[in-house]
Structure 1
């Protein structure tokens, strides 16, 4: 005779009758399928956390590269200065002391930079560790709580992309998830975006220098677009000689790969900024700066492995696409319209 063990694990058994067989089967199936469905949901959720891990990791690598370049530059300068002092035979005692004092001061500055860089690296490594721990902590039992934290992260991502930094900071602090969001990364982007909206290319060019190797690897045209805009601004200011010198220094290296665009911009020296020719007039329009802002956002997101669209938009689009409408819209409208009219009349009469 088949037996069904009691939940408490006792040795007593109960026979399965035809009346209880259906209930027993339902209980067994439910107990087996519920955890597996939650586990499947958990697995699918973790697949969407690519940005969550990559952004701090890319920021961590960028900091390490920047610190390494600083050390190389300073150490090379110190070694060169020491070699110059050692090779100088006519250097007086006072000059030698002055040179050594300058070297000591420079080394102290390097030490301070190394300490600051090490502290920054430790903080970013801690952030990477915190995110790994957060992903490892998710389980079937705490999936609801974990999803609530993810919802807050998605909202924070939207707030940061929309430049609501104060609101994002308050939400992160109140929820105790500062290590799980990328506020400092978006603040770095904000400086460049604000400068471009103020029609300044300096911070954007500095950002290109800091990420030159990676931008070159991705065949980015962003720096070239910035150089073109700076040239156009010189033409707008009627500073033609300076514009020519600028083109020789900064635009000529791009001639081999972007000759047509370069020729078009160079023609502005002849047509001037008050031209009515649509082909060249568009180069002097303010919307060119908006184009640079959009271009920077795309390059910035690509650099950190982030989608250009906010995560909130992506999740909403996916959720709305997955919804199933039981009735056509016209049918629902016909069914609900009279009720809405009746409610409206009742409210108006009252």
Structure 2
């Protein structure tokens, strides 16, 4: 299958969506800024025109108006700089894609087919691969836990491995920072880590307040999740009275169906189900404070209340934040790196994958289907012994380097469909000692031009490399792709 320019354009739409959303959000911010300044100036001018003001008071009001305008101009300049940066990202990504036209030729269907052997195109792909890796590292970075760093919390992005990699390769890949919305991804990672690892609500509350109008318009449930987590945190800290007051102020409104508007029935039912457990949770907490409360609290009947005070509430909040963040900026829900890896793995996955029974990853695979949950953590199994041998590679005395079977990619490939292939591109390919690979039938079948020569070689149990003209014994050839 030929790789076309249209394929790359279609697969990179999300790269243009995020800056476009940032431009829209920044423009809305400028509109609100101008409207706020207009109202403030009208109020100050009306105050200055008042007849009961003395000249010194009028002068002070005028100076206040001037200071307000200076602050307004500063904010406008910052918004203008952001707008220029976002437009520069779009232009850099457009120019990056337009480079493909230099290494493509027209095809009969009207598309442009790329020459994959062009060295400039190979360098272009290297830059793309680095962008995918940086994107993945920025989003998925998890700092060391506070317990392993003497209680130190990471509020800065300076330790983010993705940003470190981006800074280290910027000289080799100029303009790569324009292909990645690293500031947005770093913001997402910082807020996500503060929720899941640090159990801190400050950053997500600030982000919610900055984007409240969008979230309200799209019927977001993030505000409820924040208030619910805050309530449970107060309970967990023993501040029961404060938690009751907080629930009356911030949670009681969510028990009213009219609060959700049209189309909010599912959200109303989900939130109401959570609120119904609040009364029982307060009783459960009071029981724990009694002398024999610890034993009573551990009974199976109270397991649901133990679960309410577990880390599940932070996971639920982080998932809600992630969904809203992706919706706001138009970010794909899956890592782009995973998307491209899946596209490659699905072409390699065959029915013979996951049949390595010496590998503990596949120990619980029923009938070799490869679609059951593994019994162990596969991400740490990088030792070569976990890659083979299976019944094919054991006979060849080789190590199984199949990406689908590798511990690193096993989880990603586990749910992918099988490649609908009967044989390899070469039918029964064999590798010669010099590394060249040919279909074995063509090595044995003599051509009309060299009929006598090949017949002599075959009688000697030898074959000849068609390219290098080197002669080898047939027993030295290795079958490299089991049928």
Structure 2 residue runs of 5 or longer lacking an equivalent are 105-113, 115-120, 142-160, 258-267, 289-296, 357-388, 400-483
1:125-145 CA-to-partner distances (Å, cap 9, x unmatched) read 111122122223322616534
Other-structure match for 2:293: none
Q: Give the CA deviation at 1:155.
A: 1.5
CA-CA distance at 1:308 after TM superposition: 2.4
Contact conserved, 2:139 with 2:189, CA < 8 A, in 1?
no
Going from structure 1 to structure 2, the CA distance change for 1:328 and 1:96 (only over 3 Å counts) comes to closer
Cα deviation 1:37-59 (Å, max 9, x = unaligned):
64x63222221112111111112
**Aligned counterparts of 2:355 and 2:317: Cα–Cα separation in 1:** 44
Q: Give the Cα–Cα distance (whole angstroms) in 1 for the partners of residues 352 and 201 of structure 2.
A: 54
Native 8 Å contact 2:139 2:188 kept in 1? no
Which range moved further: 46-55 or 126-135? 126-135
Whether 1:303 aligns to 2:328 is yes
Q: Distance in 2 between matches of 1:122 and 1:51?
A: 19
Distance of aligned partners of 1:174 and 1:68 in 2 relative to their CA distance in 1, 3 Å threshold: farther
**Could you say if the C-alpha distance between residues 338 and 322 of structure 1 is closer, same or farther in structure 2, counting changes exceeding 3 Å?**
closer
The alpha-carbon deviation at position 264 of structure 1 amounts to 2.3
Q: Specify the alignment match of 1:187 in structure 2.
A: 186
CA 1:292–1:338 in 2, change beyond 3 Å: closer, same or farther? same
Alignment RMSD? 2.9
The offset of 1:181, in angstroms, is: 0.9
1:10-65 per-position Cα deviation (integer Å, ceiling 9, x unaligned): xxxxxxxxxxxxxxxxxxxxxxxxxxx64x63222221112111111112222222
> For the residues of structure 2 that align with 1:199 and 1:335, how far apart are their CA atoms?
50
| Corresponding residue number in structure 2 for 1:175 | 173
Residues 340 and 269 (structure 1), Cα distance of their counterparts in 2 relative to 1, 3 Å cut = same
- Cα distance 1:184–1:231, how it changes in 2: closer, same or farther (>3 A)? same
Structure 1 unaligned spans of 5+: 1-36, 343-350
* Counterpart in the other structure of 2:150: none
> Does structure 2 retain, via aligned residues, the 8 Å contact 1:232–1:265?
no
1:106 aligns with 68
1:45 equivalent in structure 2: 8
2:59 equivalent to 1:83? no
Task: Determine the structure 2 residue equivalent to 1:272.
Answer: 285
Task: Spell out, residue by residue over 1:98-150, the C-alpha distance to the aligned partner (whole angstroms, 9 max, x if none).
Answer: 22211211111111111111111111111112212222332261653433332
* Residues 156 and 171, structure 1, Cα contact 8 Å, conserved in 2: no
Query: Hey, what does 1:139 align to over in structure 2?
Result: 101
Whole-Å Cα distance in 2 between the matches of residues 322 and 58 of structure 1? 34
* Contact 2:92/2:179 (8 A) holds in 1: yes
Report if aligned partners of 2:18, 2:330 keep a CA contact under 8 Å in 1: yes
Q: In the alignment, is the contact (CA less than 8 A) between 1:169 and 1:183 conserved in 2?
A: no
Bigger mean CA deviation after superposition, 233-242 or 50-59: 233-242
Superposed displacement of residue 210, structure 1: 2.3
Stretch deviating more after TM superposition (182-191 or 325-334): 325-334
DSSP 3-state at the match of 1:323: coil
CA distance 1:74–1:266, shift in 2 (3 Å): farther
Using CA pairs below 8 Å that are at least 6 residues apart, which structure has the higher relative contact order? 1
1:340 matched residue in structure 2:
397
Cα distance 1:118–1:328, how it changes in 2: closer, same or farther (>3 A)?
closer
CA distance in structure 2 between the aligned counterparts of 1:278 and 1:306, rounded to whole angstroms: 37
Q: Counterparts of 1:232 and 1:135 in 2: how far apart (Å)?
A: 49
TM-score w.r.t. structure 2 length? 0.57
- SS in structure 2 opposite 1:129? helix
- 8 Å CA contact 2:281–2:305 kept in 1: the answer is yes
Higher share in helix: 1
Q: Tell me, yes or no, if structure 1 residue 157 matches structure 2 residue 135.
A: yes
Following the alignment from structure 2 to structure 1, what is the Cα–Cα distance between the partners of residues 132 and 178? 14
Partner of 1:227 in structure 2?
Answer: 227
Kindly state the Cα deviation for residue 175 of structure 1 after the two structures are TM-superposed.
Answer: 0.8
Q: How many residues align?
A: 304
User: Aligned ranges for residues 60-99 of structure 1 at < 5 Å?
Assistant: 60-87=23-50, 89-99=51-61
Q: CA deviation at 1:80?
A: 2.0
Distance 1:42 1:191 in 2: 35
Deviation at 1:329, TM superposition (A): 7.5
Contact 2:139 2:186 in 1 (8 A): no
- Out of 294, 309, 316, the residue aligned to residue 341 of structure 2 is 316
**C-alpha spacing 1:269/1:172, structure 2 compared with 1 (3 Å):** farther
2 CA distance for matches of 1:175 and 1:328? 37
